[in-house]
Amino acid sequence: MALAFDPRALLEEMYRAAIHRASPAGCVPQNLPPRPKGKIVVVGAGKAAASMAKAVEDAWPDVPFEGLVVTRYGYNVPCTRIEVVEAAHPVPDKAGLDAAARILEKVRGLGPDDLVLALISGGASALLAAPAPGITLEEKQAMNKALLKSGATIMEMNSVRKHLSIVKGGRLALAAAPAKLISLVISDVPGDDLSAIGSGPTVGDPTTSADALAIIEKYGIAAPPSVLAHLRSLESETPKPGDPRLANVENKIVCTPQDAVEAGAAVAAKAGVTPIILGSALEGESREVAVVHAGIARQIAQFGQPAAAPAVLVSGGETTVTVKGNGRGGRNAEFALALAIALGGHPGIHAVAIDTDGVDGVEDNAGAIIGPETLARAAALHLDYKAFLANNDSYSLFEGLGDLVVTGPTFTNVNDFRAVLVDPSAQIYR
């Protein structure tokens, strides 16, 4: 059957629509607060922080304010009134340490008529590197690396990070009191939990130091003695939801993973392909989530359920990878490779998996794209795809095939976007 669309082109249009929906230029201006009586200080952190700052400047051309935001290297957007600092992600560096100290200094000493506008997006947790007293930057870096390799969920990682910081877990908001603080947030976490986005620097923290210690024990992380000593001290505890010191704080989510998933689904529907949204908050091991997606795609192909082809499975969220090999690759490329293997070259099924920030893990790709021929092409090039997966080396496999998805910096972040397209040539209805 001749297709009315090119599968790969459609998948590309879908993920680009998802990224565009999360652009700060489209979601920040309408959420800006009224001008206060006093001064305005703009601060922020995250992969979208610079583009959010630019959106504020463009929307407030005649409003006086000053500010400082920190974003990932390569994610700078030129601003004229808000200083933009670049720092390392996902493992913090001294630039992030210095930026966090300067941000804390900017929000201190303000009065009740003043406004702190905080711009928070995914990545803020690593970029706002302000270790608690007694913990060095090197020890914080080691903890971040260990957490990233452990298979811990983003919620678990941020629970630990919040209790090792003087800025996360609501402590930025404490520093800004008694000024009014309004936080505009682009969500990158499953369920849009404000306390987890960027480790919630302006939000009361429902987790405890005991929770953080339990997570370290659960994943067998060899934490430095200083980290364990701090987590066992009263000073490590964060302000909790309902804390009266946070009464003058307002947090507002301006864009979510669900928004991006719906934008991608709308592109498919316009092309005459039935979108099936599996969820925007999916978690779990990348390769296991891939097997589930493959099973549903096969159900569409074999039985026309839950919809007849052409149909596309759309999902978001944040999967994890428990690193056991020494290869290169992030959670989205690993999902794509595991999905290709699970599908076994099934005809008529194509897929893409990307991180909407443009960086899959620590590599230069956003993710990868596959089709029915992926495994055959790998075999023809003598690329042992199962060995690549076992070594967590999905990047190298897709680099060899020319199937990496490279978007460059997107200046936003609403987590993963996945689409599994089943075209009519895949159907084998009984």
Kindly list the structural domains of the chain, giving each domain's residue range(s) and its CATH number in brackets, ordered by start: 7-19+258-426 (3.40.1480.10), 32-255 (3.40.50.10180)
Per-residue pLDDT at 80: 97
The pLDDT of residue 320 is 92
pLDDT recorded at residue 5: 81
Predicted confidence at residue 6, as pLDDT, reads 95
pTM (two decimals): 0.90
Predicted pLDDT at 427:
73
pLDDT at res. 429? 52
User: How confident is the model at residue 428, as a pLDDT?
Assistant: 67
Residues of the chain with pLDDT under 70: 1-2, 428-430
CA 296 → CA 34, 349, 367, distances in Å? 48, 11, 21
Confidence (pLDDT) at 426:
73
